């Protein structure tokens, strides 16, 4: 089955759906349109979720790694004496200006 046949089958299916839609009354046509829009919204939402899944996963992993780096950096540079946090930089003697 070639691409030409697939496209022609798709177009024929759309034509049949449009013909059935014309044969329906106003209330049923509105219900059909509403159902189609809901299905389209679900398909689109799930498609976008799949499309952006990898980039979100990557950015979440980068954020997690950055947060862990900050936590490790703070843990190793700060000493605590009682309830007072004293950085190691303040322990070095300073030269007067």
Per residue in 27-62, pLDDT tens?
999 998 999 999 999 999 999 988 888 777 778 888
Asked, for residue 8, whether it belongs to a domain, the answer is: yes
Determine contact, residues 39/46, Cβ cutoff 8 Å.
Answer: no
Q: Can you tell me the distance from the alpha carbon of 11 to that of 18, in angstroms, rounded to the nearest whole number?
A: 11
pTM assigned to the model: 0.47
Note the residue count of the chain.
Answer: 97
Domain count, the chain: 1
Q: Which domain holds residue 30?
A: 3-91
| Per-residue pLDDT tens over the stretch 1-34 | 889 999 999 999 999 999 999 998 899 999 989 9
pLDDT at 52: 83
Asked, for residue 32, whether it belongs to a domain, the answer is: yes
Q: Can you tell me the distance from the alpha carbon of 75 to that of 72, in angstroms, rounded to the nearest whole number?
A: 5
Question: 39 by DSSP, 3-state: which?
Answer: helix
Name every residue whose Cβ is closer than 8 Å to that of residue 85 and which is 6 or more positions away in sequence: 78, 79
H or E, element range at 86: strand 84-87
Asked, for residue 96, whether it belongs to a domain, the answer is: no
Asked, for residue 97, whether it belongs to a domain, the answer is: no
């Amino acid at each position: 089955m070639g691409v030409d046949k697939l496209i022609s089958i798709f177009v024929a299916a759309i034509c049949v759906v449009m013909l059935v839609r014309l044969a329906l009354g106003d209330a049923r046509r509105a219900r059909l349109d509403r159902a189609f829009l809901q299905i389209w919204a679900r398909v689109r939402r799930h498609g976008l979720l799949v499309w952006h899944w990898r980039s979100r996963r990557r950015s979440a992993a980068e954020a997690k790694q950055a947060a862990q780096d900050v936590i490790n950096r703070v843990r190793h540079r700060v000493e605590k004496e009682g309830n007072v946090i004293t950085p190691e930089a303040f322990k070095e003697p300073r030269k007067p200006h």
